[in-house]
Amino acid sequence: MTKQIVVTGATGTIGRRVVEGLLAKQVPVVALVRDAAKAPQGTRAAVGTFEDRGSLERAFAGADTVVLITAANANAAEQTLAAIDAAKAANVRKIVRISALKAAPDGPTDNTRQHGRTEAALKASGLTYVILRPHYFLQNLLGSIPTIKGEGKLYWGVGDGKMGMVDTRDVADAAVVAALTDKFDGGTYELTGPASIDYNAVAAAVGRGLGRDVTYVPVPPEAAGEALRGYGADDWTVRLIRDYCTAYSKGFGDFTTGDVERITGRAPRSVDDFVREVLAPAVR
């Protein structure tokens, strides 16, 4: 009998693709959701929240593995610790954790630091684990579609910093493999794209894919954070963007690894792949 896998964050960008990948392998999937009506098709919905310990234990009951995804927020560490405790109580064997780039208790952003603490807790829990640390998501570029279309410009706050940006599809695909095999158990993997590039190169790739000129316009990290406030971002998120942009501008993300290919067996998608397959169709 195929062992059951729970996916938290199952309606998000990464979680939904993880669910699709597991279902394609004929794996029974439980989706932890706040609203049963929003559970991905083909899953068993488990209604609950990270703040409701009982709902977590009920969702995790009978599961072999949990793919643990939490949205970046001020309370993510507490949410993750609650999920780890509930998984132990429910006799879950393994957690595949979607963490954060270079997670560390002394990292440059609160997100980095929260994930550093929760990674340590997971390693000390006695549960089998795989930790996946995704780089900056290429999908973040989708938020720039209005200025790309309207002005032919791409604004962001990382200066000339280079980053090994990763496609969330590769992150999800790696999580599926990690959930279905023991080959990567006990490992921590930094998931990156194939090249470390700056935003000038990103703008050039967007321009190639759209057949028009697109220019990168650097703005101060503070301005990048404040720009999101106009879209409803809270103070924590504004600070997060500012701190990440500052770190990236200073070389925090200037590296790549072979971990996507090591786990999935194929090379990670490039920025040109992303523009052709995702961004360009969204723009048009």
Residue % of the chain over a pLDDT of 70: 99
Residues 79, 20 contacting (CB under 8 angstroms) = no
Q: Are residues 140 and 129 in the same domain?
A: no
Same domain, 94 and 80: yes
Q: Which of 119, 134, 149 is the last residue of a domain?
A: 134
| Structure token digits, residue 126 | 């006695």
- Together in a domain, 121 and 241: no
Q: Please write the tens of the pLDDT for every residue from 36-77.
A: 999 999 999 999 999 999 999 999 999 999 999 999 999 999
The model's pLDDT over 132-165, given as tens digits with 9 standing for 90+, comes to 999 999 999 999 999 999 999 999 999 999 999 9
pLDDT digits (tens, 9 = 90+) for 175-214: 999 999 999 999 999 999 999 999 999 999 999 999 999 9
The answer to whether residues 209 and 279 touch, using CB atoms and an 8 Å cutoff, is: yes
pLDDT at 2: 67
Judge if 144 and 283 occupy the same domain: yes
At residue 125 the predicted structure's pLDDT band, cuts being 50, 70 and 90, is very high
Task: Classify residue 185: in a domain, yes or no.
Answer: no
> Same domain for 19 and 35?
yes
Residue 1 in this model has a pLDDT that exceeds 80: no
CB 57 within 8 A of CB 30: no
Give the Cα separation of 93 and 35 in Å (integer): 26
With a cut of 70, say whether residue 233 has pLDDT above it. yes
Q: What is the DSSP string of 139-164?
A: GGGGGGHHHHHHHSEEEES-TT--B-
**Residue 47 is part of which domain span?**
5-134
pLDDT band of 284, cuts 50, 70, 90:
confident
For the segment 17-26, what is each residue's pLDDT rounded down to a tens digit?
999 999 999 9
Tokens at residue 177, please?
């493999």
Listed residue (93, 199, 90) closest to 144, CA to CA: 199
By CB atoms closer than 10 A (0-12, 13-18, 19+), residue 284 is exposed
